[in-house]
Amino acid sequence: MKTLKAGTRLKSAVCDAEVMVVKAGAGEVELCCGGAEMLAMADAKPAGGQVDAAQAGGTLVGKRYTDAAESVELLCTKGGKGSLSLNGEALVVKQAKALPSSD
């Protein structure tokens, strides 16, 4: 469990994915990638870690990921094989907002 702060960079413990926190909600959360909790950039990856097959949807570089309530937003800075989850709930790619009609 970690408290997220905007601007914090994290990396996956089991794949190459890296993210930056753009928007953080209040309180402690469990942010995982590939089924393992994400690490601070300075932390060493544990040896032999593998992506959980159920969490192998992938993370795409340049995409923003958010939860259903949009309380947390992450920017993927390096892609990887693991998919992101927050407190056990899968994060989804944030969709662009539709522009108003010009009529």
- pLDDT at 11 (0 to 100): 95
- pLDDT at 26 (0 to 100): 82
Distance (Å, whole) CA 6 – CA 18: 15
- pLDDT at 96 (0 to 100): 86
Rg of the chain in Å (alpha carbons): 14
Indicate if the pLDDT at residue 102 is higher than 90: no
DSSP string, 29-50: E-EEETTEE-EETTSPPPTT--
Number of residues in the chain: 103
Residue where the block lists tokens 């060493």: 44
Residue type, 89: E
pLDDT tens digits, residue range 15-55? Answer: 999 999 999 988 899 999 999 999 999 999 888 888 889 98
Residues 6+ apart with CB under 8 A from 48: none
- pLDDT at 1 (0 to 100): 77
> Using 50, 70 and 90 to split pLDDT, how confident is the model at 90?
very high
Distance (Å, whole) CA 29 – CA 53: 22
Average pLDDT, the chain: 92
